[in-house]
């Protein structure tokens, strides 16, 4: 079982900020911004593309949950990212949407 599946199963602790039938959101262990929340499908999918193909409604929910959290925290802007593949920085192969906010972000990202 992957590390995020273990958080979903409550086998290891996660600092959970939102939960629905299909989606879980929890604070990133190594936050890169004042708000750094990971929003994941509870069902294991390796990547955003696989999630889009297999469960598009759940993929859409990740975005609505991100916006809901941003509104609750009154963020004036935020960045969303899916890293896909090692060369793009993916280290956990369970699809996860990064919600980053609370500081300015440069573009293009490094
Ligand atoms: P990525 O590099 O895009 O695959 O992002 C993986 C993120 O997951 C990274 O920002 C650190 C975070 N992370 C890794 N292990 C854990 C964990 O056990 N708990 C939590 N909350 N976050 C984790």
Q: Is residue 30 part of a domain?
A: yes
Q: Residues 50-99: pLDDT tens digits? A: 999 999 999 999 999 999 999 999 999 999 999 999 999 999 999 999 99
pLDDT for res 98: 98
Question: Which residues line the pocket of ligand 1, CB cutoff 6 A?
Answer: 3, 14, 26, 28-30, 38, 83, 89-92
pLDDT score, position 39? 99
Domain of residue 45, CATH code: 3.30.428.10
Q: Confirm whether 83 is domain-assigned.
A: yes
Number of structural domains (the chain) is: 1
The answer to whether position 13 is within a domain reads yes
Centre of ligand 1 to C-alpha 36, Å, is 10
pLDDT bin (cut points 50, 70, 90) of residue 41 is very high
Within a domain: residue 56? yes
Domain boundaries, position 10: 3-101
Considering the domain boundaries, does residue 107 fall inside one? no
| Nearest alpha carbon, ligand 1 atom 20 | 29
* CB neighbour class for 30 (10 Å; exposed up to 12, middle 13-18, buried from 19): exposed
Q: Is 36 part of a structural domain of the chain? A: yes
Both tokens of 42, joined, read 């509870």
In a domain, 108, yes or no: no
Tell me whether residue 49 is in a domain: yes
pLDDT at residue 17 tops 90:
yes
Calculate how far, in angstroms, residue 39's C-alpha sits from the geometric centre of ligand 1. 11
**Which of 26, 30, 47, 109 gets mutated to test ligand 1 (max ligand atoms within 8 A of its CB)?**
30
Residue 7 to residues 22, 34, 64, 78, 89: CA-CA distances in angstroms? 14, 22, 21, 25, 21
Q: Say what the pLDDT of residue 34 is.
A: 98
pLDDT of amino acid 110: 77
* Contacts (Cβ under 8 Å, ≥6 apart) of 61: 20, 22, 23
């Amino acid at each position: 079982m992957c590390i995020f599946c273990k958080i979903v199963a409550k086998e290891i602790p996660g600092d959970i900020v939102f939960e629905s039938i299909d989606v879980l959101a929890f604070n990133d262990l190594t936050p890169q911004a004042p708000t750094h929340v990971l929003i994941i499908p509870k069902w294991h999918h390796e990547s955003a593309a696989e999630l889009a193909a297999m469960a598009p409604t759940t993929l859409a929910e990740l975005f609505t949950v991100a916006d809901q959290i941003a509104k609750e925290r009154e963020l004036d802007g935020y960045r969303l990212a899916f890293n896909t593949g090692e060369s793009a920085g993916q280290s956990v192969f369970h699809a996860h949407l990064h919600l980053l906010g609370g500081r300015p972000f440069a573009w293009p990202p490094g």
